[in-house]
Structure 1
Amino acid sequence: MVRSPFSTPPALLRQARQQDGVISGSQAQAFGLTRRQIARLVHSGEWQYPGRGAYLLPGAHPHRSRVRAALLHRPDAVACEITAARLLAFGGLPVARPDEPVHLLLPFESARRQPNGVKLHWDDVPHAHVTDIHGIPTTSAPRTLVDMVLRRDRDDAVALMDAALRGGHLTDLTSARSLAFGRRGAAARSSWWRHADGRAESPLETRLRLLLTDAGVAPEQLQWQVRDDSGRVVARLDLAWPSRQLDVEADGTSVHGGPVALYRDRHRQNLLTTLGWTVLRFTWPDVTQRPGYVTHTVTRALATGSGQP
């Protein structure tokens, strides 16, 4: 990167920090920079230009800066969908891709051209459905959840419901269900809401629970505590059948992938075995690519009392 031969005014830097590292072209000129100087900052790589007269300065927030840039000159727009979910800190979201667009919601009468890097949606949003996150207008948690549920398959939708409940964004799903009423796709998804359970700790746990429920072997308990002879809690099980002492674990790489986690899981499994429990472990590829293997193994374990396939 070739640095420009002049420095950015300190006052401009302070303003940019208050805006997650974003500055508009008009603001930059108000702080004394000429258009030529702005162009040289972009050409040198010190500033990034995502478009619409917005510039990203070094250290810009990786998510909020892109949202602020997309909102520039769109005073009636609101961050929505997965963009809003990230601002609201919903759990269980996929890792953001570099090319993930910023989702914005605009009134029906707004222009319909889809700009690069931005995905526009149109609807009339009551003020009650909008909240403020770091100064960014964002759809509320119930509205965000509904918008996402209506555009996803069942397993992803229920995982979002589970995460919203577990994260405390919603205490129940009543408000979200009411917002879905009458919208396109809501009727076909009406039965999905009853599958939600805020005790699930990951999308993999949700998918595993739904898979087994569909197969007729729904878990008896979630996050079941196992105690030793002294009454001390020694383990908390993802999906449990206490009546058969069967434990089914969802092994996501983020929690169970490292050597420390491997040691902990082995110690825990040995302890459960000494207490008479059978432990089965399934990964994301198991659940998504070999669902028959998963359901067969669990069904056989329940029928025979053995976890061996």
Structure 2
Amino acid sequence: MSERNDPAAFLPTAFTVAQARDAGVPRGRLRGASFAQPFHGVRVRGAVEANSLSASCRALAPRLRPGQFFSHETALALHGVWMPEWPYRPLVHVSAYRPAREPRTHGVVGHRLQVREPAWTHLDDLPVEDPIRAWRQVGGLWRRGDIVAAADFLISGTVPLATTAELRAEITRMGDVRRGILGRALHDVRAGVRSARETRLRLLLVEAGLPEPAVAWNLFDSRGTFVAELDLAFPRYRVAVEYDGRVHAEDVAQFARDADRWAAIRREGWAHERILAHHLDGDGRVAVGIARGALLRSGWTPGR
């Protein structure tokens, strides 16, 4: 069948079976290899990108009814918030405020929420929950460290998606969960964090009994000239600890700039410790040992 005579050619990439029927597409045509079937009642031209939450959301979108929207960890992922690390895999969560009903189909976690004024918005034509509300919603799903990292993301960056006060107000209005995990997480939230692993490193150091480091601390030389922004700094002991994910490992120019930066920090009399990915493996004790050693050499006394 030529494209001009094929009614399926005029449908969007993702569509419902009902839409195809209304367009005159024969039911048998939808069973062919040309269309993927990611959800009941939905067809996608071609294939849905594997392990892509956003692709799954785009595939499900035609099936959503008025009042339904992506929520919980799905909403946070669509807002760009850091997700828990592998092997954790976020699921597709869709909610609706009463009296609307949540979807009930395989591959989707549905939620019917308390009566409340909706606050969801559209991102790339997808209905997505407000990030502050979505952060509270993952309180029932995630570990405390991941909840802290998500809040760190929300309050950081050039254009933060939330403030600490707004997150606290959401808890006050709608209540805490799991023995107060959200309030405890909020106590550890800090602005200026650049990655989820930086959050994890900071929490590991504090929980191990080390002093709490300053986040995004600006280092200046004796003439007041800016030297570097330090991810985690212990100014009293002139120790900087930074997570180095080696994103630019293959970028020779970037690596050279990084090396010059490290040298400039050391010239100011600071100890500079780089924590690499393998240092955080397991319980992260190797990373803690590196930071502890630098602090001890710089005059820190445990328990002080």
Is TM (by shorter chain) over 0.5?
yes
1:165 pairs with one of 150, 155, 161 = 155
Mapped to 1, the partners of 2:21 and 2:155 lie a distance apart of 46
Match in the other structure for 1:56: 44
Q: What is the DSSP-based 3-state SS (H/G/I as helix, E as strand, rest coil) of the residue aligned with 2:260?
A: helix
CA gap 1:9/1:207 in 2 versus in 1, 3 angstroms: farther
Match in the other structure for 1:81: 72
2:105 pairs with one of 104, 115, 134 = 115
CA deviation after TM superposition for structure 1 residue 297, in Å: 3.1
Query: Contact between 2:148 and 2:189, CA under 8 Å: does it hold in 1?
Result: yes
Match in the other structure for 1:304: 297
Mapped to 2, the partners of 1:97 and 1:75 lie a distance apart of 33
1:35 pairs with one of 27, 36, 40 = 27
2:196 pairs with one of 200, 203, 206 = 203
CA deviation after TM superposition for structure 1 residue 82, in Å: 1.8
Query: Contact between 1:244 and 1:305, CA under 8 Å: does it hold in 2?
Result: yes
Mapped to 2, the partners of 1:8 and 1:79 lie a distance apart of 35
Q: Which moved more, 1:150-159 or 1:188-197?
A: 188-197
RMSD of equivalent CA atoms: 3.4
**Match for 2:68: what amino acid?**
A
**Match for 1:265: what amino acid?**
D
2:272 pairs with one of 273, 279, 287 = 279
Once the two structures are superposed, residues 7-41 of structure 1 have per-residue CA deviations (whole angstroms, 9 ceiling, x without a partner) of 2769865651xxxx3122222233332222233xx
Mapped to 2, the partners of 1:174 and 1:154 lie a distance apart of 19
Mapped to 1, the partners of 2:72 and 2:134 lie a distance apart of 6
Q: What is the DSSP-based 3-state SS (H/G/I as helix, E as strand, rest coil) of the residue aligned with 2:83?
A: coil
Q: What is the DSSP-based 3-state SS (H/G/I as helix, E as strand, rest coil) of the residue aligned with 2:37?
A: strand
Mapped to 2, the partners of 1:81 and 1:214 lie a distance apart of 28
Match in the other structure for 1:138: 128
Mapped to 2, the partners of 1:95 and 1:8 lie a distance apart of 46
Percent of pairs with identical residues: 23
Mapped to 2, the partners of 1:248 and 1:197 lie a distance apart of 16
Query: Contact between 1:22 and 1:60, CA under 8 Å: does it hold in 2?
Result: no
Q: What is the DSSP-based 3-state SS (H/G/I as helix, E as strand, rest coil) of the residue aligned with 1:224?
A: strand
Mapped to 1, the partners of 2:267 and 2:183 lie a distance apart of 44
Match in the other structure for 1:289: 282
Is 2:125 the counterpart of 1:129? no
Match in the other structure for 2:170: 179
Once the two structures are superposed, residues 155-214 of structure 1 have per-residue CA deviations (whole angstroms, 9 ceiling, x without a partner) of 111000001111445341333333334343262442221211121100111111112222
Match in the other structure for 1:233: 226
Mapped to 2, the partners of 1:8 and 1:306 lie a distance apart of 78
CA deviation after TM superposition for structure 1 residue 73, in Å: 5.4
CA deviation after TM superposition for structure 1 residue 128, in Å: 3.2
Mapped to 2, the partners of 1:114 and 1:28 lie a distance apart of 21
Mapped to 2, the partners of 1:277 and 1:93 lie a distance apart of 33
Query: Contact between 2:171 and 2:182, CA under 8 Å: does it hold in 1?
Result: no
CA gap 1:9/1:280 in 2 versus in 1, 3 angstroms: farther
Q: TM-score scaled by structure 1? A: 0.79
CA gap 1:278/1:100 in 2 versus in 1, 3 angstroms: closer
Is 2:145 the counterpart of 1:152? no
Mapped to 1, the partners of 2:48 and 2:207 lie a distance apart of 45
